[in-house]
Chains A and B, each alone.
Chain A
Amino acid sequence: GDSVTQMEGPVTLSEEAFLTINCTYTATGYPSLFWYVQYPGEGLQLLLKATKADDKGSNKGFEATYRKETTSFHLEKGSVQVSDSAVYFCALMRAAGNKLTFGGGTRVLVKP
Chain B
Amino acid sequence: DTAVSQTPKYLVTQMGNDKSIKCEQNLGHDTMYWYKQDSKKFLKIMFSYNNKELIINETVPNRFSPKSPDKAHLNLHINSLELGDSAVYFCASSHRGPGANVLTFGAGSRLTVL
Question: Which A residues have a C-beta under 8 Å from some C-beta of B?
Answer: 32, 34, 36, 38, 42-46, 49, 51, 87, 89, 93, 95-96, 98-102, 104-105, 107
Contact = CB atoms under 8 A, between A and B. Distances in A.
B108 A43 contact: yes
B40 A104 contact: yes
B87 interface: no
Given A36-B105, A98-B101, 20 more contacts: A32-B99, A34-B102, A43-B90, A43-B106, A43-B107, A43-B108, A44-B90, A44-B103, A44-B105, A46-B102, A46-B104, A51-B99, A51-B100, A98-B55, A99-B45, A100-B33, A100-B103, A101-B45, A104-B40, A105-B43
A105 B101 contact: no
Contact of B41 (A34, A42, A95, A107): A107
A46 B94 CA distance: 12
A81 to B, nearest CB: 22
B42 A105 contact: yes
Interface of B: 4, 31, 33, 40-45, 48, 50, 55-56, 90, 92, 94, 96, 98-108
Contact of B100 (A34, A45, A87, A102): A34
Contacts of A95: 98-99
Given A89-B43, A105-B42, A98 B100 contact: no
Given A49-B100, A89-B43, A98 B105 contact: no
